[in-house]
């Protein structure tokens, strides 16, 4: 026979089992619902984190590209500046060489050849002005007079010249530039192209 004590224990166990079962159902329901919420929130946070990382990477890439772009612009600027420096130095060296060249026999030959060419264009002219460097005025004045005895001419010094001459028909206002400076100026484009091709 079951005693009262045993019945009480059995009842208590049944009550506990019921409470545990009912509570477990609620716990399972809570865990299920809450767990889903947690998972969803976790996924949401992960997506936000990925988005933030993606945005950060985009921002980093943007800044990196901006820096690279600025560096390329600066590099190009420095390159052009250096090219100009080298070009200017080259032109200056040519000018210095031209000044030394005026003391050579080759220069004398070039001067007289240029003189003949220009006077061929001015053969109808009677009043002509020559502009030369000071050294050439003394060197070529007599030669010009002997070569063109029927021409009325004068020779003046032009301090802007480094060699060669300019000649002007005073009656018809015709000017011909046979100076070394004009030859240098007309050759600048070729000089620049050669220098720049060497720097690439």
Condensed to tens digits (0 to 9), the pLDDT of residues 35-71 reads 565 666 666 666 766 676 666 767 766 776 777 677 6
pLDDT at 151: 84
Per-residue pLDDT reduced to its tens digit, 136-177: 999 999 999 999 888 888 999 998 999 999 999 988 888 999
pLDDT at 135: 92
DSSP summary character for residue 103: T
Average pLDDT, the chain: 77
Better-scored residue on pLDDT, 43 or 30: 43
User: If you average pLDDT over residues 81-96, what whole number do you get?
Assistant: 81
> Quick one: fold of 102-199?
hypothetical protein PF0899 fold (3.30.2320)
Both tokens of 82, joined, read 């250096």
pLDDT at 7: 46
pTM metric for this prediction: 0.59
pLDDT at 172: 84
CA 177 to CA 166: how far, in whole Å? 4
SS (H, E, C) 58-106: HHHHHHHHHHHHHHHHHHHHHHHHHHHHHHHHHHHHHHHHHHHHCCCHH
Better-scored residue on pLDDT, 2 or 81: 81
β-pairing verdict for 127-132 and 152-157: parallel
């Amino acid at each position: 026979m079951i005693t009262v004590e045993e019945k009480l224990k059995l009842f208590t166990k049944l009550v506990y089992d019921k409470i545990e079962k009912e509570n477990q159902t609620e716990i399972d329901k809570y865990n299920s619902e809450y767990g889903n919420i947690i998972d969803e929130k976790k996924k949401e946070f992960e997506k936000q984190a990925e988005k933030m990382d993606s945005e950060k990477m985009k921002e980093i890439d943007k800044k990196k590209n901006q820096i690279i772009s600025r560096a390329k612009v600066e590099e190009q600027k420095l390159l052009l500046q250096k090219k100009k420096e080298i070009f200017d130095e080259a032109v200056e060296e040519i000018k210095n060489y031209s000044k030394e060249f005026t003391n050579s026999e080759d220069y004398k030959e070039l001067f007289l050849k240029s003189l003949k060419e220009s006077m061929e264009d001015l053969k109808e002219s009677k009043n002509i002005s020559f502009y030369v460097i000071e050294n050439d005025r003394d060197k070529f004045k007599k030669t010009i007079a002997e070569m063109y005895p029927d021409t009325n001419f004068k020779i003046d010094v032009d301090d802007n010249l480094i060699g060669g001459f300019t000649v002007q028909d005073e009656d018809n206002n015709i000017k011909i530039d046979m100076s070394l400076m004009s030859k240098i100026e007309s050759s600048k484009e070729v000089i620049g192209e050669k220098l720049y091709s060497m720097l690439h």
